[in-house]
Structure 1
Amino acid sequence: MLWTLTHDEAGVSLLTVSNPMPYHASLQALRIDAFQISEYLLLAPGAHSEMVVPASVLPSANRRFSYKALTDYGGQRTYCTPLKGHAVFTARLLENNSFQDEC
């Protein structure tokens, strides 16, 4: 997944995700820190989606973005990354599905 944090013409912050893979992606519990941005998101191959980020959770040096991806076998894999401005970013897999790992 490729993620981008941007602003629209009205100044509203948007978190955009693109699925460059040839497979559907099923994502759950998309969060910035403890704030849930989306409960569930299904992305078709090549699709993208935008989610509004409330001003109260705008990125700072300490903010973390995380989500869970469903596997083909029904399991969940947790991904996490620090939020850094408006660059395109990816999240790394947390090996033990715990936020005790560093993003």
Structure 2
Amino acid sequence: MAIRSQLLKGILEGCILAIISKESIYGYELAMKLQSQGIDVSEGSIYPILLRLQKEELIKGKMKKSPHGPNRKYYHLTDQGKTALTEFKTQWNGLKTPVDQLLKGEE
């Protein structure tokens, strides 16, 4: 559904920051966590976002050894990332409530 895809593009960055804020995580694991929450996104679409978040210095990646194959890059939030997540939550809550009210037909 095109509408779902467009909505997801707008909120995916905030969802990624929220997951990374709870634990250091690597890309594939991040995709699995999103999918477990009902956010169907491919691993391939997550990596460009992770690269952009690194360039914006909202997250940092650190290579770590993996017991199950090649090394993995684990991501964690920077202080700027924590600030961005707080701003996302504020903006999301400011938008979510009025949209919910409109969809329910409330004033």
The two structures have a TM-score, normalised by structure 2, of: 0.26
Which structure has more helix as a fraction of its residues? 2
Larger Rg: 2
